[in-house]
């Protein structure tokens, strides 16, 4: 079914059982994965990575370099999947599109005054349309956390709905910036608002605030997705971002997704990692599983 903006009762979000959340995470992190299943998970995770450069010092050449990394990560292992997308600022979308032309790697772009979100709706819509018109298949927006903390939930809802409309056929990832929300209850409410307002994905973080993605916060967001799916039959994607730099943690996220939402979410259509450095570690672990030998980090580009 297609994603549609729906009416939302701002008092409908459940209270989160923090002890229960932490208990489930403790059980996930205590598990080990066998060799064949581990290799499958490593390849799956690689195909879910959004390679990202979102710095003030970004240049055309840096974006092209990142796109080349996306294209050639797996040159030594031709049977490996590509990453899912390359994520850049709106003014670099055309550069990335040209560099990735003819591939299945999407171009994503942040928008809406990323990372603070402190701007007018007019500017945010223009920011989004610039990225979409340049060819971005995916838009990563940030919610107005100040309005959320004021309790102005209808403002947050309406803004997301407006950005969703401006996206046209491009998919919308809504960044909650969970490190600024404070509590699991607030994360759940923000998740419910974003989903009801039209988000195709909900995303933990910009990567600019600490803490960024965590397993407990991700579980809270996954439960919101699950409840919405049970109610409507509509899938919504999930993207933890920031602080996921090693394969062991990535595999724990995949276990969490499978146990909470099921195997239908274990594709890059419905799950992503916002973690560029993760790609290198995944490759190192894949090589280790295949050959029994670790390669030096020096064999992999840093960006």
Tell me the domains of the chain and their CATH numbers: 18-299 (3.20.20.70)
Report d(CA 159, CA 141) in Å as an integer. 10
Average pLDDT in the 130-147 region?
98
Q: What's the pLDDT score for residue 1?
A: 46
Which pLDDT score is estimated for 72? 87
147 is an active site residue = no
Q: Active-site residue 203, yes or no? A: yes
69, 94, 124, 239: the catalytic one is 239
Say yes or no to pLDDT of 17 above 80: yes
Judged against a pLDDT cut of 50, whether residue 13 lies above it is answered with yes
> Which of 72-76, 189-193, 274-278, 284-288 has the weakest average pLDDT?
72-76
Catalytic-residue membership of 69: no
Q: Chain-wide mean pLDDT for the chain?
A: 92
Res 298: pLDDT: 47
Give me the catalytic one of 97, 124, 203, 281.
203
- Position 52 scores a pLDDT of 95
Kindly report which listed range (9-23, 119-133, 185-199, 289-303) carries the lowest average pLDDT score: 289-303
Share of the chain above pLDDT 70, in %: 93
pLDDT over 90 (residue 258): yes
State the pLDDT at residue 299.
Answer: 47
Active-site position among 127, 140, 192, 200 = 140
């Amino acid at each position: 079914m297609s994603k549609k903006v729906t009416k939302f009762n701002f008092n409908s979000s459940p209270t989160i059982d923090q002890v229960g959340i932490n208990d489930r995470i403790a059980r996930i992190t205590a598990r080990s994965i066998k060799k064949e299943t581990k290799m499958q998970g490593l390849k799956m995770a690689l195909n879910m990575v959004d390679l990202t450069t979102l710095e003030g010092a970004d240049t055309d050449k840096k974006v092209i370099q990142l796109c080349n990394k996306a294209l050639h990560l797996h040159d030594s292992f031709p049977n490996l999947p590509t990453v899912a997308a390359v994520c850049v600022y709106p003014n670099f979308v055309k550069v990335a599109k040209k560099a990735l032309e003819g591939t299945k790697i999407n171009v994503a772009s942040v928008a809406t005054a990323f990372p603070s979100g402190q701007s007018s709706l007019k500017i945010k819509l223009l920011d989004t349309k610039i990225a979409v018109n340049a060819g971005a298949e995916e838009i990563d927006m940030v919610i107005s956390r100040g309005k959320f903390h004021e309790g102005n939930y209808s403002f947050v809802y309406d803004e997301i709905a407006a950005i969703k409309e401006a996206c046209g056929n491009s998919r919308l990832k809504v960044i909650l910036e969970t490190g600024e929300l404070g509590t699991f209850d607030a994360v759940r409410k923000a998740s419910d608002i974003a989903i009801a307002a039209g988000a195709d994905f909900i995303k933990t973080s910009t990567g600019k605030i600490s803490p960024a993605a965590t397993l407990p916060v991700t579980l809270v967001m996954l439960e919101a997705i699950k409840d919405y799916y049970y109610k409507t039959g509509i899938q919504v994607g999930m993207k933890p971002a920031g602080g996921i730099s090693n394969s062991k943690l990535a595999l724990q996220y995949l276990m969490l997704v499978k146990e909470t939402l099921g195997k239908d979410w274990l594709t890059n259509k419905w799950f992503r990692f916002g973690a560029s450095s993760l790609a290198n570690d995944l490759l190192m672990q894949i090589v280790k599983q295949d050959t029994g030998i670790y390669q030096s980090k020096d064999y992999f580009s840093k960006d």
